Structure 1
Amino acid sequence: MVGIIIASHGEFAKGIKQSGSMIFGEQEDVQAVTLMPDMGPDDLKAKLEEAVATFKDQDQVLFLVDLWGGTPFNQVNGLFEAHKDKWAVVAGLNLPMLIEAYASRLSMESAQEIAAHIIETAKEGVKVRPESLQPKEAKAAAPADTSANAGRPGSFDYVLARIDSRLLHGQVATAWSKSVTPTRIIVVSDAVAKDDLRTQLIQQAAPVGVKAHVVPVDQMIKLAKDDKHFGGQRALLLFETPQDALRAIEGGVPLKELNVGSMAHSVGKVQPNKVLAFDQNDIDTFKKLEDKGVKFDVRKVPTDSKDNMDAILNKAQDEINKNK
């Protein structure tokens, strides 16, 4: 695996590394190296060398630095000279760049290949609202659907169905989208479909090249029964609640597995782990889904280990019983 070193003035490198972990999960062979006010160039160089030494494969190292020409870049560049046939350095670090680098390590084995690949994503991550302020040369139509099967007869390919009270957010738009490569993200929710603002924000949050839609549960059921004009479309479904997912499945949406990512805490709910909260209705709903043969994939991002849903539900039930 390509090792990644994030280097910056001050604590920026540590902060963006933490942000990347929140979105894409904890990563192996990633080190944050910071230049602090009491440090000199030689001190920073020593820290960079120590960071490289921690990697399993020291032949393939990618440096992501904050500023071209700054001290972190200059010290990285000095080390790079002896390895320029394999190592790579990219300046202008932003969060889209870092996440794309993480995703690229899943399929690319060369630091230089990853470096060339992440530049465009870093640029696309810089946007402005109102859109009228965007430089004219940067405005472009949404990429056309280039799926090999687009427009051909067929039906939806359901690449992921997820329960997540936050719906379309960073972990979905980046980590999961990179993992399952949908062409459509469909939020299935009666409540959100009635909310024009939330619908607009979801559509704006879609990754580049992916179309986002918001539909009521009944509409999703109709689409699932008559989806022949969606041939070649890879659908990622997002449900706000397990109850919506159960309605959809009972209505005929052919889902065999649900990824359970996040269920927000509210009054009357117990929280058996950090990201999932349940009331009795939630527990009963998951039991009904289980009775229908639905499997549960409990994890926030693809790189997380899967949790045991039965154990989580049993713990939630115990806590509810204690509170009675």
Structure 2
Amino acid sequence: MVGIIIATHGEFAEGILQSGEMIFGKQENVEAVTLMPSEGPDDVRAKMEKAIASFDNQDEVLFLVDLWGGTPFNQASSLMEAHQDKWAIVAGLNLAMLIEAFATRFSKESAHEIAVHILDTAKEAVKVKPEELEPADAAADTAQQVNTGAPGKFEYVLARIDSRLLHGQVATAWTKNTLPTRIIVVSDEVAKDELRKKLIQQAAPSGVKAHVVPINKMIELAKDDKHFGGQRALLLFENPHDVLKAVEGGVPLETINVGSMAHSTGKVQPNKVLAFSQADLDAFKKLKEHGLSFDVRKVPNDSRGNMDEIMRRAQSELDRQR
């Protein structure tokens, strides 16, 4: 796997690494290098050399730096002199660039390939609101829509239960992992809330259209075989009850990713991110009877949780409350 060095002035490197791992999960072969006010170029170089020595593969190294021409860039460039056929530097570090680099390491094995691939994502992440402040060409890119109207049905690349719906982990990590053309929030409640609908549509990553539809509408769309050929749908549900209604109505899901279920009064919480009421457990049991499997992960590179064991612990805690 390509090693990544994040090098910046001050503690920016450590902070953005923490943010990136919060969204995408813990990363191996990634090191933050900081240039502090009391330090000089030699200190940065020594930190970079130590970081490179810790990598499993020292032949492929990607430097993500804050400023072109700054001290972190200059020291990385000096180290790279003897490795220009393998190593690469990308300046202008932002969070979208970092997350894209994390995701791309799973499919590309060279620093040069990753450096080229992450440039567009880094540039697309720079936007302005209100949209009319954007230059005309950028506004046109933002407004571009995916093609529709081809014969066929949706391909479901992910169906996820997440009480937060469309947020950073979904808009970045899961979108990069599954490559949807559309993100569809399926909820009767959210479909009635114009503010939440607008916020969800605005949170969609570049190039992906976001929709909010009630459950019956999703059932209708799932049966349409005339307009959605080539469309890759990522479905988001707030709770298992809405998933059950959709499945019973004919939405052809095989696996449901269980990512986050918020705690509230009367629920038990057998792990850090999932809280269950008795009704929730009953809904999951019915989903299992319908043949669905459960993929318990917050982000793609998390290890999968054992849903049967989680449900068993939740049921035991609920029984003790009675």
TM-score calculated relative to the size of structure 1 = 0.95
Q: 1:145 is aligned with what amino acid?
A: V
CA contact (8 A) 1:151 1:232 kept: no
How high is the sequence identity, in percent, across the aligned residues?
A: 71
Residue of structure 2 equivalent to 1:269:
267
Letter in 1 for 2:103: A
Q: What residue identity is the alignment partner of 2:244?
A: L
Q: Aligned equivalents of 1:274 and 1:170: distance in 2?
A: 18
Aligned to 1:192: 190
- Where structure 2 has 5 or more consecutive residues not aligned to the other structure, the ranges are none
- Is 1:115 the counterpart of 2:118? The answer is no
What residue is the counterpart of 2:253 in the other structure? Answer: 255
- The number of residues matched between the two structures is 321
Cross-structure match for 1:145: 146
Equivalents in 2 of 1:303, 1:176: separation in Å? 10
The structural deviation recorded for 1:323 is 2.5
Report how far residue 188 of structure 1 moved.
Answer: 0.3
Q: CA deviation at 1:145?
A: 2.7
**What residue in structure 2 maps to residue 243 of structure 1?**
241
1:23-172 to 2 correspondences below 5 Å: 23-141=23-141, 142-145=143-146, 151-172=149-170
Whether contact under 8 Å (1:161, 1:259) holds in the other structure is yes
C-alpha distance after superposition, 1:150-208 (max 9, x if no partner): 64321111111110111111111111111111111111000110111111111111122
CA distance in 2, matches of 1:243, 1:128: 38
CA contact (8 A) 2:64 2:91 kept: yes
Kept in 1: contact 2:153–2:223 (CA 8 A):
no
Give, in angstroms, the shift of residue 16 of structure 1.
Answer: 0.7
Kept in 2, the 8 Å contact 1:165–1:240? The answer is yes
Deviation track 1:46-80 (CA, whole Å, cap 9, x = no partner) reads 11000001111111100001122222112111111
> In the alignment, which residue of structure 2 is the partner of 1:297?
295
Q: How big is the shift at 1:137? A: 4.0
Q: Deviations over 1:111-167 (max 9, x none)?
A: 112112211211111111111222334322434436xxx643211111111101111
Cα distance in 1 between the residues matched to 2:125 and 2:45: 30
Contact 2:259 2:297 (C-alpha < 8 Å) held by counterparts: yes
Structure 1 CA distance for aligned equivalents of residues 226 and 139 of structure 2? 33
Say if 2:9 and 2:72, in contact at 8 Å, map to a contact too.
yes
Q: Distance in 1 between matches of 2:86 and 2:149?
A: 42
Query: For 2:7, what is the secondary structure of its paired residue?
Result: strand
**Residue in 2 aligned with 1:174?**
172
CA distance in 2, matches of 1:143, 1:111: 30
Distance 1:157 1:137 in 2: 31
Q: Note if 1:224 corresponds to 2:222.
A: yes
CA drift of 1:90 comes to 0.9
Please name the residue that 1:320 is paired with. Answer: 318
Q: Deviations along 1:201-230, whole A, 9 cap, x unmatched?
A: 111111222111110001111112234321
Once superposed, what is the RMSD of the aligned Cα atoms?
1.4
The Cα offsets for residues 93-114 of structure 1, whole Å up to 9 and x where unpaired, read as 0000001111111221111121
Instruction: Give the counterpart letter for 2:160 in structure 1.
Output: R
What secondary structure, in the 3-state scheme, does the structure 1 residue paired with 2:26 have?
Answer: coil
Letter of the aligned partner of 2:179 in structure 1? Answer: T
Alpha-carbon distance in structure 2 between the residues aligned to 1:191 and 1:101? 36
| 252-261 or 109-118: bigger deviation | 109-118
Q: Which amino acid aligns with 2:70?
A: G
Q: TM-score, normalised by structure 2?
A: 0.96
Q: Report the 3-state secondary structure (helix = DSSP H, G, I; strand = E; otherwise coil) of the residue aligned with 1:265.
A: coil
Q: In structure 2, what is the Cα distance between the partners aligned to 1:157 and 1:138?
A: 30
Query: Which shows bigger deviation, 267-276 or 45-54?
Result: 267-276
